[in-house]
A and B are shown apart, each in its own frame.
Chain A
Amino acid sequence: MKIKEVREVGSLRSLGKLKDVSFCILKYGVPKHRHITPHNFFNFFNFFLLLILLIPTMLHAEQTALEPVPKRSPTARTLLFGVGRTNQFDSYLSPMEYTGLQVSFLTRSERMTRMTNRHISFQSSFYGAYTSTDNPAGTADYKGGRLAYDAGWHYHYSPVTNLDLKGGTLVGADLGFLYNSRNGNNPAQGRFSIDLSLSAGADYSFSLWHIPMRASYQADLPMIGLMFSPEFGESYYEISQQGVGHDIVCAHLGNACSLCQLLTLDFCLRRITLRIGYLCDIRQSNTQSLKYHDISHSFMFGFVRHFQLMKIR
């Protein structure tokens, strides 16, 4: 009988070279014949806690993680929480810029595939944010929410030791809203888009004070896609009567120039790999004579786990 065993990759030194990592620091899968001791019960508890925290990631990204694929590269999963400032402007709702607080989360999963001799990695991300912003006079506010998912592939290249460059494409979908409690017939703006992005990044592994660390940077630039945008003075009453067919427009660099950048630093604290970072997310569009931007700067913090699925014969 085959039993799947999930193992964590614990060596931070190997983060830069996922294909060469050494395994077996902790075992989370418990074979049937074993007794549950306080030690492995604690690991078990940790595992389920982690499962709950990573449900969004596991739902959207790593369906295949449950499949028994032999000789599979380890998967790096990140869960980050963020807090920061955001600047929002939507000419459908107001001619003014609103500024305020943003809280967010980001889950990301990345693993090397077997394509091109393990030079290509697969990445998927799930991002959510809630914003609360005020107008400059402090007399009105926006409440906003956003969920975004993207997935794609990167080609990796190491020009020098410890440096890993990558470039690739991502396909993403974005869903959100912005609500102004003071407006009458135009109280909210809905957002929906799908796009194809170029993505590039770099990872650099180094040691500082004898602590192994890794700095990473990734930038995603949406190139082309489709997005929902009402016409200049179109009310949601009309949209509900006539449908949204004419409100789906082509988004490209010329009318929806956006960029998402994530700069992170990984370091190890005991057995946990912690990650801190800075997320700069710039969303912009100028369609149907309506202008929009949402520019956020967030401090991100969280942790990284490295897993591998193996078969026990």
Chain B
Amino acid sequence: MRKLSIFLIVFISTFLISCQQSEYSYDETPQGNLDALWTLIDQRYCFLTYKEQQLGIKWADLHAKYSAKLNPKMSRVQLFEVLCQMLSELRDGHVNISTSLDLGRNWSWKEDYPENLDIELRKQYLGTDYHIGSGLKYTILPDNIAYVVYESFSNDIGDGNLSDMLSYLRLCNGMILDIRGNGGGELSNAERLSRRFTNEKVLVGYVCHKTGTGHDDFSEPQAEYITPSNGIRWQKPVVLLVNRSCYSAANTFVRNMNEMPLVTIIGDQTGGGSGLPFSSELPIGWSVRFSASPYYDARMKQIEFGIEPDIYVTLDDVLAVEGRDSMIEEARRLITEKKEQ
């Protein structure tokens, strides 16, 4: 009996000691939080090798560089600034620290470039009697061209909305799809809209994800296809208006539309943001967001820094004073030209 009791105690104790996983615990000092953040990005961020090639960032060097800026008595605000500076080196809009103080961000992907969008001009083209189909606003311009504005992929659109819209616009000569300023949202909305512009299954890109903590530990890229919708599909020329503010899901939508035969993309290069973001946190309790799964185009090229348009067009300030949007006007000209051909 006694031997049995000893055996049980030894067995259970051994189990508890040997099987307990090591805790991922850090202290709440500035150094502890910087270590946690650095390790998180080092192990889970998906563009470290690519950013090293494009921007010359060596993530291993940044730990020492920013550790030197810390001191044990610094305030939370100061710590927040140092951590944000370290993340800013990645130049990724999907990398943020979220606190009750502020949202740490690097928005250079749009802030360093002309906006090429005048909301007031857009309103003039839409007028006041435009239709609203969930997240879509649309009207018919005087030259019988459909003008559709989609401001955010966070605004859900359903198949019913799309069918009703395309039915209403069916007699138009072409469509201007204006997604300038669209900073992304739900990928499912981007896919649902893309399906209205193809009559056959189209390869639009690839996606993979990290399988381990190494910088280049990725799964096999999985092909992504857009299959035609069973509802009404658009069969006429489409001009897609883009600018540097097209980011994340909007960037993925442009990638999809780039493979559609009737679509011409005009405007500025998109903002990029091709990494599907994940969330994590720091010991101090701040939330951290980072790119975890990279998306590629149909030729397996990175689109993290954006997609070039077929035709570069910028907003003309002189025309804007006259109440005309040079990008929309160029789109109208293209559609009219294609119709005449």
Interface residues of A (CB under 8 A from B): 89, 91, 93-97, 135-140, 159-160, 163, 180, 182-187, 219, 221, 231-235, 237-238, 241-242, 257, 259, 261, 282, 284, 286, 288-289, 291, 293
Secondary structure call for the B interface: mixed
In the bound assembly, the distance between CA atoms of A202 and B219 in angstroms comes to: 48
Residue B212 lies at the interface, judged by CB distance under 8 Å to chain A: yes
- Cβ contacts under 8 Å, A232 to chain B: 44, 209-213, 217
Q: Contact flags (1/0) for B24-35 with A, using CB distance below 8 Å?
A: 110010000000
Once A96-B281, A257-B15, A289-B212 are accepted as A-B contacts, the answer to whether A233 and B21 lie under 8 Å apart by CB is: no
Residue B285 lies at the interface, judged by CB distance under 8 Å to chain A: yes
**Which B residue's beta carbon lies closest to that of A219?**
B12
Once A140-B287, A261-B12, A288-B211 are accepted as A-B contacts, the answer to whether A233 and B46 lie under 8 Å apart by CB is: yes
**Which A residue's beta carbon lies closest to that of B287?**
A182
Say yes or no: A233 contacts B210, CB within 8 Å: yes
Distance (whole angstroms) from the CB of A278 to the closest CB of chain B? 13
Distance (whole angstroms) from the CB of A217 to the closest CB of chain B? 8
In the bound assembly, the distance between CA atoms of A132 and B210 in angstroms comes to: 30
Interface residues of B (CB under 8 A from A): 1, 12, 15-16, 18-21, 23-25, 28, 36, 40, 44, 46, 187, 207, 209-213, 217, 219, 222, 224, 276-281, 283-287, 289, 292-293
- Cβ contacts under 8 Å, B209 to chain A: 231-235, 238
Checking A140, A160, A180 against B285 with a beta-carbon cut-off of 8 angstroms, the contacting residue is A140
**Which B residue's beta carbon lies closest to that of A293?**
B21
In the bound assembly, the distance between CA atoms of A253 and B136 in angstroms comes to: 54
**Which A residue's beta carbon lies closest to that of B219?**
A231
> Which has the most chain A C-beta neighbours within 10 Å: B23, B28, B284?
B23
Say yes or no: B292 contacts A96, CB within 8 Å: no
| 10 A-B contacts (beta carbon < 8 Å) | A94-B280, A95-B40, A96-B25, A96-B281, A183-B279, A232-B44, A233-B211, A235-B278, A235-B293, A284-B19
Distance (whole angstroms) from the CB of B189 to the closest CB of chain A? 13
Say yes or no: B283 contacts A96, CB within 8 Å: yes
Distance (whole angstroms) from the CB of A184 to the closest CB of chain B? 5
- Cβ contacts under 8 Å, A184 to chain B: 277-279, 289
In the bound assembly, the distance between CA atoms of A281 and B239 in angstroms comes to: 60
Say yes or no: B25 contacts A97, CB within 8 Å: yes
Distance (whole angstroms) from the CB of A140 to the closest CB of chain B? 6
Checking A183, A237, A282 against B276 with a beta-carbon cut-off of 8 angstroms, the contacting residue is A237
Say yes or no: B281 contacts A94, CB within 8 Å: yes
Distance (whole angstroms) from the CB of A97 to the closest CB of chain B? 6
Distance (whole angstroms) from the CB of A203 to the closest CB of chain B? 14
- Cβ contacts under 8 Å, A242 to chain B: 222
Secondary structure call for the A interface: loop
- Cβ contacts under 8 Å, A293 to chain B: 20-21
- Cβ contacts under 8 Å, A238 to chain B: 207, 209, 222, 293
In the bound assembly, the distance between CA atoms of A138 and B284 in angstroms comes to: 9
In the bound assembly, the distance between CA atoms of A184 and B207 in angstroms comes to: 18
In the bound assembly, the distance between CA atoms of A187 and B212 in angstroms comes to: 20
**Known A233-B278, A235-B278; 13 more pairs at CB < 8 Å:** A89-B21, A95-B281, A180-B279, A182-B281, A183-B278, A184-B278, A185-B277, A186-B292, A233-B46, A257-B15, A259-B12, A284-B21, A291-B24
In the bound assembly, the distance between CA atoms of A310 and B293 in angstroms comes to: 63
A-B pairs with lowest CB-CB distance, top 7: A137-B285, A233-B210, A139-B285, A257-B19, A183-B279, A95-B24, A233-B209
In the bound assembly, the distance between CA atoms of A233 and B218 in angstroms comes to: 9
Say yes or no: A95 contacts B280, CB within 8 Å: yes
- Cβ contacts under 8 Å, B284 to chain A: 137
Distance (whole angstroms) from the CB of B294 to the closest CB of chain A? 10
Checking A136, A163, A185, A291 against B21 with a beta-carbon cut-off of 8 angstroms, the contacting residue is A291
Once A138-B285, A231-B209 are accepted as A-B contacts, the answer to whether A259 and B278 lie under 8 Å apart by CB is: no
Distance (whole angstroms) from the CB of A94 to the closest CB of chain B? 5
Once A96-B281, A186-B278, A238-B209 are accepted as A-B contacts, the answer to whether A233 and B293 lie under 8 Å apart by CB is: yes
Distance (whole angstroms) from the CB of A40 to the closest CB of chain B? 46
Distance (whole angstroms) from the CB of A233 to the closest CB of chain B? 3
> Which has the most chain A C-beta neighbours within 10 Å: B12, B207, B278, B286?
B278
In the bound assembly, the distance between CA atoms of A91 and B217 in angstroms comes to: 17
Distance (whole angstroms) from the CB of A292 to the closest CB of chain B? 8
In the bound assembly, the distance between CA atoms of A106 and B283 in angstroms comes to: 35
- Cβ contacts under 8 Å, B28 to chain A: 137
- Cβ contacts under 8 Å, A180 to chain B: 279
**Which A residue's beta carbon lies closest to that of B39?**
A95
In the bound assembly, the distance between CA atoms of A185 and B24 in angstroms comes to: 22
Say yes or no: A137 contacts B279, CB within 8 Å: no
In the bound assembly, the distance between CA atoms of A95 and B28 in angstroms comes to: 14
Say yes or no: B24 contacts A89, CB within 8 Å: yes
- Cβ contacts under 8 Å, B187 to chain A: 237
Once A233-B44, A289-B211 are accepted as A-B contacts, the answer to whether A140 and B281 lie under 8 Å apart by CB is: yes
Say yes or no: A234 contacts B23, CB within 8 Å: no
In the bound assembly, the distance between CA atoms of A288 and B210 in angstroms comes to: 10
Distance (whole angstroms) from the CB of A223 to the closest CB of chain B? 13
- Cβ contacts under 8 Å, B20 to chain A: 284, 293
Say yes or no: B15 contacts A137, CB within 8 Å: no
Once A233-B44, A235-B292, A289-B211 are accepted as A-B contacts, the answer to whether A185 and B278 lie under 8 Å apart by CB is: yes
Distance (whole angstroms) from the CB of B234 to the closest CB of chain A? 24
